[in-house]
Amino acid sequence: MSGIDEQVAQVASLLGLLLALDTLFTTEQARRLTEERTRIGGAKRSALRTTLVTCILLGAVTLAALASLTPLAIDVVGTIGDTSWEPVFGVFLLTYVLLIGLVAWQILLTIRARPR
């Protein structure tokens, strides 16, 4: 196993767990935001503020994960078309791209959660 192989193998299970939990918590915040915005009498400012803070924290976790994984992702992209390419690299890159989409969704939710 080369160095990149070992690094991807070490982060694979934790990265999958991060993606699953981060997506689950973000989905819950999206549900809460929709529920508050459609509430009779209008959204409670305290509920919106709680959702806002939670979305900011979720986004920070996702951005920190992306920042720490970027050097490895660049190394993996460098192996595309090379004999050292492993199938797990494709899964790693797919998960990395999904994290980018997730942080974009978290930013959108943060913007939508601002009290008006």
Q: Average pLDDT in the 81-109 region? A: 94
Domain boundaries, the chain: 3-112
Residue 2 has pLDDT above 70, yes or no: no
pLDDT in tens, 26-74: 999 999 999 998 998 888 999 999 999 999 999 999 999 999 999 999 9
pLDDT band at 19 (very low <50, low <70, confident <90, very high): very high
| Burial degree of 82 (CB within 10 A; 0-12, 13-18, 19+) | exposed
pTM of the predicted structure, to 2 decimals? 0.89
Rounded to whole angstroms, how far apart are CA atoms 9 and 89?
A: 9
